[in-house]
A and B are shown apart, each in its own frame.
Chain A
Amino acid sequence: MAITFKELSYTYQANTPFEYQALTDINLTIPDNSYTAIIGHTGSGKSTLLQHLNGLLRPTSGSLEVNGQLITPQTKPKQLGDLRKEVGFVFQFPEAQLFEETVLKDIAFGPKNFGKSEAEALEIAKQKAKLVKLPEELWEKSPFELSGGQMRRVAIAGILAMAPKTLILDEPTAGLDPKGRLEMMEMFYKLHQAEGLDIILVTHNMNDVANYADNVVVLEGGQLLKTGKPAEIFASPEWLLAHHLGLPKTTAFAQELKQRGIKLPSLPLKEADLAKQLATMIGGIGNE
């Protein structure tokens, strides 16, 4: 589903001595069926922006349209009830939201709040537990008996159980080991492709952006700095450095090659692309 921001601004604690403008005049469209990465320095307004997407915050001025629903400063919280299930929000360290007696019950919590019966919710819970590869022997255990990585998968299953059309991921791999990180990012990518789930990823990891995203949004100081395809965003390493943004490893390596005098036909984002380019260049002398 498409999401459009029009001149959206948000001020925390407006009209008090503590007021703080977190977002200024955001004009942005997130296309339907996309995997969008939102990047920006800490304090750039990313989490404020995200919280508008599922109705946790309403704009101070301007508007946004999510799945056909228009949200303005006048929108009442009650009208945003459904939005919370259509846009699933996986917070950072989502395992902090677990509380039920068993894993299945926790996954079923969301659907029950949106009207599913106990039986229906449990069925959904089982499906989603399978989807995130949680072994069946864990299903009746207390979520607090699980390892950190398993608890995280329970939390994610709980969000998926509400059958959202869009999934917001706020640094979903924070604190995981490299294997865990890879498995998690692959799982979300599969969901994006197989179930057509729109993904909005907030991350500091530029490799993930290069590997998975087809659309990038750059925020700085509460304003939209740039949007575009990853290749466009990562085209100028100088620009990225000036804005305190990192580079995907491959792009950084390509810079090092350039400095050594090796010119590449185009700027690669992933190892596989770089390898292809190098292979073609080396191909001129044949394999050793």
Chain B
Amino acid sequence: MTAIIEVKNLTYRYDEQDKVPALNNINLTIEAGQWVAIIGHNGSGKSTLAKALDGLIEPEAGSIKVAGIELTSQTVWEVRNHIGMVFQNPDNQFVGADVEGDVAFGMENRGIARPEMVKRVKAALKAVNMSAYAKHEPVRLSGGQKQRVAIAGVLALRPDIIIFDESTSMLDPEGRQDIIKLMKRLNEKEGFTVISITHDIDEASLAQRVIVLDDGEIIADQKPAALFTKGQELIDIGLDVPYPERLKHELAKQGITVPKKYLSEEEMVEWLWQLLSKN
């Protein structure tokens, strides 16, 4: 597996006078094709890290390498060819007057010839299931639809890495599930490296790796199942408690001995079945 993102000793402060930096000596390597979830309570530095990776903010110290390119103010535009970002607010990243126009925006910026743009817009809209909405204005779209358009805009540029910065947090449950399904397909079937910053437990559970940020530092870096055994503590680090853990907690209150290790919902059903069959 090749490393596609390498972060070394990254430190960033919003204000020179801040005592605690927003990012404090972050060291992190992400392999190509991985899905990494980054979690943390609000203010832990998650979004700051995402912005730093895309060169949208300049660090105080440390280095970032993306696809082998050292991120500097000269190389930042080249780096951005490898990274596509989908932000939190569906409205505030929608630049075009209609869906097609917005998907084409990134390509217009790169001076891609029109025939090529037309081809890619079609393909991108098909990939996110929004072809029927090509001429719609943003005000007629739901939050989930706008996020799909944002993703299409990213796909049209063919990056290697997609960063989802809390892209599902402003959506209703249906919209959220929709986008999470799309994220899964993009990672599993299309091979994109996915970095998702999230509070959503369903999103985090699909990742191969969960990184926990607190006060600008990485305090945990493990597989979802390993992290979820923390149970009730998860809420303090910015994640929901997964359902099986909540149930285990209540069962324990009733005097039932529950396994320490994390069980998924299916595993939980099985375990209960075994328990009750012994009756």
Contacts and interface: CB of A to CB of B under 8 A. Distances in A.
Binding between chains A and B? yes
Interface of A: 42, 147-149, 174-180, 182, 204-205, 244, 246, 249-250, 253, 256-257, 260-262, 271-272, 274-276, 278-279, 281-282, 284-285, 287-288
Given A278-B256, A279-B254, A177 B238 contact: yes
A265 to B, nearest CB: 13
B250 A178 contact: no
Contact of A271 (B234, B250, B272): B250
Q: Is the interface of A mostly helix, strand, loop or mixed?
A: helix
Contact of B247 (A174, A275, A282): A275
B142 A42 contact: yes
B235 interface: yes
| Most chain B CB atoms below 10 A, which of A244, A278, A285 | A278
B54 to A, nearest CB: 22
Contact of A179 (B173, B236, B246): B236
Contact of B42 (A148, A257, A284): A148
Interface string B163-207: 000000110111000000000000000000000000100000000
B257 interface: yes
Given A177-B41, A288-B257, A253 B247 contact: yes
Nearest to A246: B173
A159 B82 CA distance: 47
B238 A256 contact: no
B77 interface: no
A162 B278 CA distance: 59
20 contacts: A42-B142, A177-B41, A177-B238, A179-B235, A180-B42, A182-B235, A204-B172, A204-B174, A205-B173, A250-B243, A260-B269, A261-B273, A271-B246, A271-B249, A272-B250, A275-B250, A275-B253, A279-B256, A282-B279, A284-B279
Contacts of B278: 285
B8 to A, nearest CB: 29
A93 to B, nearest CB: 9
A275 B41 contact: no
Contacts of A262: 269, 272-273, 276
Contact of B254 (A182, A205, A275): A275
B239 interface: yes
B33 to A, nearest CB: 29
B238 A179 contact: yes
B276 A282 contact: yes
